[in-house]
Amino acid sequence: MEILDDKLQSYLDVHCDPEPEGLQKINRDTYVKVLKPHMLSGHYQGRVLSMLSKMMQPKLILEIGTFTGYSAICLAEGLAEGGILHTIEVNREMEEMISSHLKSTNVENKIKVHYGPAEQIIADSDYKNIDIVFIDADKQNNFTYFQLIIDKVRSGGLIIIDNVLWKGKVFGDAKDTDTERVRKLNEQISVDERVEKLILPVRDGLLLIRKK
């Protein structure tokens, strides 16, 4: 998933805060027990998410795509006193693992997991004044999720979309459907005047979007 040179990525890993022990265990557990473990945010991206959250001091975070809970835990590290993170996972088969992973941390009580289709859960929710949204789910619906949550995010709030460099394919010659879909998302966000935006070359690309 990483697009950076291996030596550079190793240097970055060494020169950021170490991966907390609890997250190390979740990382290992995911790679042993789950198909497509590379979907995990991992050490460096996890520290990026944690840092952004700590800078924002959010009271309300929404995550779309829980997977094994790693990124939710990282984001929850920055929650303000009394803050809450809502995370949505479509795959109910992940429930036991997610529950186990959250219980192994000191942020379990700050995270609420919802199971089911994200579009329906968001539509049925009363979320408002969201501080941070992290979108890391089915890529074909990324722009749909953006449209669903943009009016629920406060002015100055942050939306983060993962995998926007798509293994480097978006700036290459690839013409497959998935690559074209990610390109279109990036183009649509780049001309949206409601937001400020930039792409960070972190792992598979993080699109940072700040609502004006």
The residues pairing with 208 across neighbouring beta strands, listed in sequence order, are: 160, 198
Give the per-residue pLDDT at 1: 63
Q: Which residue range forms the structural domain that includes residue 197?
A: 6-211
Residue 140 inside a domain? The answer is: yes
| Count of structural domains within the chain | 1
Give the per-residue pLDDT at 4: 85
Residue 141 inside a domain? The answer is: yes
pLDDT digits (tens, 9 = 90+) for 38-79: 889 999 999 999 999 999 999 999 999 999 999 999 999 999
Residue 1 inside a domain? The answer is: no
pLDDT above 70: residue 111: yes
Record the pTM: 0.95
Residue 46 inside a domain? The answer is: yes
In the predicted model, what is the mean pLDDT of the chain? 95
φ, ψ for residue 147 (rounded to 5)? -65, -35
Closest residue by Cα to residue 40 from 54, 22, 26: 26
Residue 41 inside a domain? The answer is: yes
In single-letter form, the type of residue at position 203 comes to R
Residue 142 inside a domain? The answer is: yes
Residue 170 inside a domain? The answer is: yes
Give the per-residue pLDDT at 99: 96
Closest residue by Cα to residue 163 from 45, 52, 74, 75: 45
CATH code (residue 173): 3.40.50.150
Residue 167 inside a domain? The answer is: yes
